[in-house]
Amino acid sequence: MSRLPALFVLQALIAFVIAEHTGVCNLSYCKCVPAKHPLRTNVNCSVPHNQKMNIFEGDLPESTEILTVAGAEALMIDVNSLSRLDDARHVHLSRNKLVLMRTASAVNLNIINLYLEIDNCDILSIETKTFSNIKGPLSVTIRDCDYVSLEGRAFSWLLSIKIDNVRHLQLGPGTFMLDPTAANVGEHGPGMTVHLKNISTTEFPELTFGSSAAMISMESVDVRSIQAGAFPANTYNIVMATNCTFHRIEGESFAPKSLINNLHFHGCNIHVFASKSLQSAVANLNISRSRFENIETGAINATVVAVVIVDSVFHIFNEKGFELSSWNKLQIRRNSFDELAPNAIVAPGGSIHELIFAENEIEDMHSGSLGFIGQAYSKFADNIIFENNYFGKPCYCNISSWLATGLGTVSGEPFESETYCTVNEFFARCFNVPEQNMVLKKFANNVCNDKPNIQCETYKNPETGTVPEIKNPRFPHKKNVQGDISERDKKIIGIVIVTALGCVIIIMFISFIRWMRRRGHCVNLKNLIISSNSSCGALCDRLCVCGLNNGIDNARSISQLSVNEYSERHRLNEPRVDDVIQETTIPSVFTQEVVEIENKTTQTLPEELTKELLENLKEKLEDPENYVEAREMIEHLYELIKVEESCNNNTPTILNVEENIYDLPFQNTTPRIGKNKKQMISVGTRTPSLDKLTPLSPYNRQTALAHEYFEPKDFAVHLYAEIANCDKEKKTLLGAIPDVLGEQAVPRGPYLRAVRDKMNSNTSVSPSAKSLNSSIGSPQLMSTIKSNKSTASNASNKMINRPLPEKPIGTVDPGEGTSFRHG
């Protein structure tokens, strides 16, 4: 949470405060009691947790010595509310969710030593110049708060401040900058101390530590940035950072005019040490157990007296990263350098008293990287200690010259006995150096000599009795360069993991659907959903298309249509070309080849009209894309019913051409020239293959349009009208088939009447038909039926409101029919 949103929330929450302020001593939850001194007063307010409290000017007794406010939901200390206090000693604000100290809350405050203690709050904001022109030193302790905002120059005189256990600390420019009139004098220089501990996020803007300080201590603080001019004061006695993280130290953070007596970095992680970050004069620079990711050119360019760098890790060390001048003591011990650029450390010493460079690991060294050692050795060789330094350079015979170039000396011979280079496994076993780091002088004496053969040392059996592993524990360093995963890498890894999991879930879902389709569970699940919810069933019907034989299962239940007959229907259903097709009549005498075909009287109806069949027909009639297909399925069913009735009566089946009074769009049943002129005769009963029984091919179909339907031929004789849906009428199969689809009239034919007659005649025989009628008899599924009762015949007594149309008067019109009549 940034400063402005936090203050906005705080202002909103304290807007509904007590309007009247007649004094805190008059409040029921405040007690004003005498202090130890009879003329002094202690004010103790225990505010209910759901109430807010304002302290305005004049609300506190002037003799207040100790003020305690605890438990408030919001506490505001207004302008001049503390200004009238005479020698207040302790202000304690505890367990208040929101605390706001307004500008000029304590102006010209006459105190000897005031202690301000604030703890256990959610949000604390101390505005600019809250304690302004106070007449005595102020000590502040802030701890256990979530968000703390200290605006610029909040304290004119600050003796000490401790901020502990704060999630986010927002500091303004000049936060710890005191007035020039403040007596900032300690025992040995400046008197102000600043202690920051356990702070998750903060930044040090310009002039943050604008006044001299006796100590600035940071422990376990995560500093996003130390901006330029953050440490501009004249003198800092001690600046210490312990276990802190500095993401970036900007250039000129430590001003050139400043003097830092002791600058310590212990256990710190510094990501970027920018150029010219440290330009202040430093008496003692101590870096220990720290990690530097990137040291830019001129990061430290300072006059120093004593430098100690121990047990630290340096990854990227650019040219002239450290420029240390006028030093007399320099210790660099047990450090790890991944790569030292040319002239990485420049240290022209003055009167050198001590130079220790020992037990360091340098993976890659360039020319002059450690040139300060050669310079110091040339003048003060007795004060130089160079011991046990390891280099990642492979050993070779002329490696001494490489060492001299890196150290800036004329010859590398004085340092050969304390320098280690790396060897391969052969030399490691040969000279008993299992860590693969061999003294440079030993390698030169045993390998780089005039002997024709290399004389290996006698194998030394370790005390454990096991053969030691040949492995270099020091190099290479670059395997551990990235100790922590960056935030960007974490996001990328998270995105990759989520994407992979999503792909796996999708693949598993698709595999599960395909498995259900292969096992036949898809149809069962669809039927179960259809029986419970028709809308869900329609969706499932689109998703659960079990294989490529859509409609075959339902078509098998309709009939056992012969293969030849169904092929003829496919042929007649093919789209017509734009050319004019000449029609002809069937010749009475055939001279062509005679082809044997099946007799339609040998075909049989399904054992029962299943619920699945009827639901399928209903859905296809409701779908404009499948309407024509469903209509022809019903037509086929009608033909089979008529055939079965004629077979039961032992009479030949004759399709009355004149019975169909509607013209069917897209279908002309008259044979065409060039199609099929062969004579067809019946050869008896043959059972057709069930897998050949499919509805008419939908590939050549198009949705029927309104202009493609025709009025009945007996429209002038019979009056057709829609009737209201009657709940008392008997619900049959026809009642479940809608008559109107998409505001288009659906043509009716005698095949629908035959279906209805068949179902009425089988009501008492088929138990499945009874259950069917009860399952589809919902009012919303019943369609309106056109009727004319006056023309009903005796053969259609079981039909509902729908008579057989009479034969039209005039020319003979074959009307509606199928290609079955030619069989």
pLDDT tens digits for 692-710? Answer: 444 444 444 445 555 545 5
Query: Under 8 Å CB-to-CB from 800, ≥6 apart: which residues?
Result: 729, 730, 732, 734, 735, 756, 785
Summarize pLDDT for 213-272 with one digit per residue, the tens. Answer: 999 999 999 999 999 999 999 999 999 999 999 999 999 999 999 999 999 999 999 999
Residue 762 has pLDDT above 90, yes or no: no
Q: Which of 28-42, 414-428, 639-653 has the lowest mean pLDDT?
A: 639-653
Going by C-alpha positions, the residue among 233, 313, 230, 235 that lies closest to residue 268 is: 313
Per-residue confidence at 715, pLDDT binned at 50, 70, 90? Answer: low
* Alpha carbons 96 and 806: distance in angstroms, whole number: 95
In the chain, the number of structural domains is 3
Choice between 42 and 7, residue whose per-residue pLDDT is larger: 42
Shared-domain flag, residues 775 and 666: yes
Decide if 324 is inside a domain. no
Output the pLDDT for position 588: 46
Give the pLDDT band (50/70/90) at residue 439: very high
* 308 within some domain: no
Indicate yes or no: pTM above 0.75.
no
Instruction: For the chain, give the mean pLDDT.
Output: 75
- Kindly indicate the confidence band of residue 7, based on its pLDDT and cuts at 50, 70 and 90: low
Enter the tokens of residue 813.
């019109």
What are 271-308's pLDDT values in tens digits?
999 999 999 999 999 999 999 999 999 999 999 999 99
Q: Is the pLDDT of residue 594 over 60?
A: no
Q: Which of 64-68, 83-87, 383-387, 721-725 has the lowest mean pLDDT?
A: 721-725
Residue 449 has pLDDT above 90, yes or no: no
Q: What is the 3-state secondary structure (H, E, C) of 571-640?
A: HHCCCCCCCCCCECCCCCCCCCCEEEECCHHHCCCCCCCCHHHHHHHHHHHHCCCCHHHHHHHHHHHHHH
Do 529 and 660 share a domain, yes or no? Answer: no
As given in the structure block, the two tokens for residue 22 are: 């007649």
Looking at the fold, whether 627 and 646 belong to one and the same domain comes out as yes
Interval 607-619 mean pLDDT: 70
Shared domain check, 556 and 506:
no
Give me the pLDDT at residue 8, please: 45
Which pLDDT does position 287 carry in this prediction? 96
Residues 26 and 169 in one domain: yes
Same structural domain, 794 and 683: yes
Query: What is the pLDDT at residue 518?
Result: 82
Residue 571 has pLDDT above 90, yes or no: no
Task: Taking residues 621-649, report their average pLDDT.
Answer: 75
Its domain, for residue 491, covers 487-539
Q: Is the pLDDT of residue 790 over 50?
A: no
Q: Do 510 and 653 fall within a single domain? A: no
Predicted local confidence at residue 524, as pLDDT: 74
pLDDT recorded at residue 313:
95
Assess whether pLDDT exceeds 60 at residue 318.
Answer: yes
The pLDDT of residue 125: 96
Is the distance from CB of 423 to CB of 433 less than 8 angstroms? yes
Same domain for 604 and 751, yes or no, is: yes
In terms of Cα–Cα distance, which of 374, 313, 380, 318 is closest to 353?
380
The tens digit of pLDDT for each residue in 168-220 reads 999 999 999 999 888 888 777 788 999 999 999 999 999 999 999 999 999 99
pLDDT, tens digit, for every residue of 470-497?
888 888 876 544 445 667 778 889 899 9
pLDDT at 730 over 50: no
Classify residue 5: in a domain, yes or no. yes
Query: Residue 119 and residue 617: Cα distance in Å, rounded?
Result: 77
Percent of the chain with pLDDT over 90: 44
Please tell me which of 235-239, 594-598, 764-768 the model is most confident about, judged by mean pLDDT.
235-239
More confidently predicted of 61 and 653? 61
Confidence band of 616 (pLDDT split at 50, 70, 90)? confident
CA distances from 332 to 308, 359, 371, 373, 652 (A): 6, 9, 14, 11, 117
Q: Of 153, 183, 213, which residue is a domain's last?
A: 183
The winner for highest mean pLDDT among 120-129, 705-714, 742-751 is 120-129
Tell me what pLDDT residue 606 has: 53
The pLDDT-based confidence of 535 (bands split at 50, 70, 90) is low
**For the stretch 154-173, what's the b/e string if a residue is b when 16 or more beta carbons lie within 10 angstroms of its beta carbon?**
bbbbbbbbbbbbbebbbbbb
What's the pLDDT score for residue 770?
40
CA 465 to chain centre: 55
Higher pLDDT among residues 312 and 23, named by residue: 312
What is the pLDDT, as a whole number, of residue 152?
Answer: 85
pLDDT at 782 over 90: no
Q: Which of 183, 202, 219 is the last residue of a domain?
A: 183
Return the pLDDT at 357. 96
Model pLDDT, residue 468: 72
What per-residue confidence (pLDDT) applies to 747? 46
689 within domain boundaries: yes
CA 336/CA 346 separation, integer angstroms: 18
Using the predicted structure, report yes or no on whether residue 423 has a pLDDT greater than 80. yes
Mean pLDDT of 350-363: 91
- Residue 280 and residue 303 in contact, taking contact as beta carbons nearer than 8 Å: no
- Rounded to 5 degrees, φ, ψ at 745 are -70, 130
Please indicate, yes or no, whether residues 107 and 64 belong to a single structural domain of this protein: yes
Tell me if 280 is assigned to some domain: no
Are residues 44 and 168 both part of a single domain? yes
Closest CA to 298 of 314, 281, 282, 274: 274
Answer positive or negative: Cα dihedral of 440, 442, 443, 447: positive
Q: Please give the residue that has the higher pLDDT: either 437 or 553.
A: 437
Q: What is the mean pLDDT of residues 746-751?
A: 48
Mean pLDDT of all residues in 150-165: 94
In a domain, residue 405? The reply is no
pLDDT at 495 (0 to 100): 92
In angstroms, what CA-CA distances link 425 with 109, 237, 392?
77, 53, 15
Q: Establish if 91 belongs to a structural domain.
A: yes
Instruction: Work out the average pLDDT over 513-532.
Output: 75
| One domain for residues 744 and 794 | yes
- Reading the block at residue 358, the tokens are 């020992």
pLDDT digits (tens, 9 = 90+) for 359-417: 999 999 999 999 999 999 988 899 999 999 999 999 998 899 999 999 999 888 999 99
Residue type, 681: I
H-helix or E-strand spanning residue 478: none
Q: Which of 360, 354, 283, 279 is nearest to 323 (CA)?
A: 279
More confident residue, 312 or 687: 312
The proportion of the chain whose per-residue pLDDT surpasses 70, expressed as a percent, equals: 63
End-of-domain residue from the set 183, 214, 246: 183
Let me know whether 48 and 172 are in one domain: yes
The pLDDT assigned to 690 comes to 37
| C-alpha span between 590 and 226 (Å, rounded) | 108
pLDDT for 543 equals: 53
759 in helix, strand or coil?
helix
Cα–Cα distance measured from residue 142 to residue 216, given in angstroms and rounded to the nearest whole number: 16
Q: Evaluate whether residue 312 is within a structural domain.
A: no
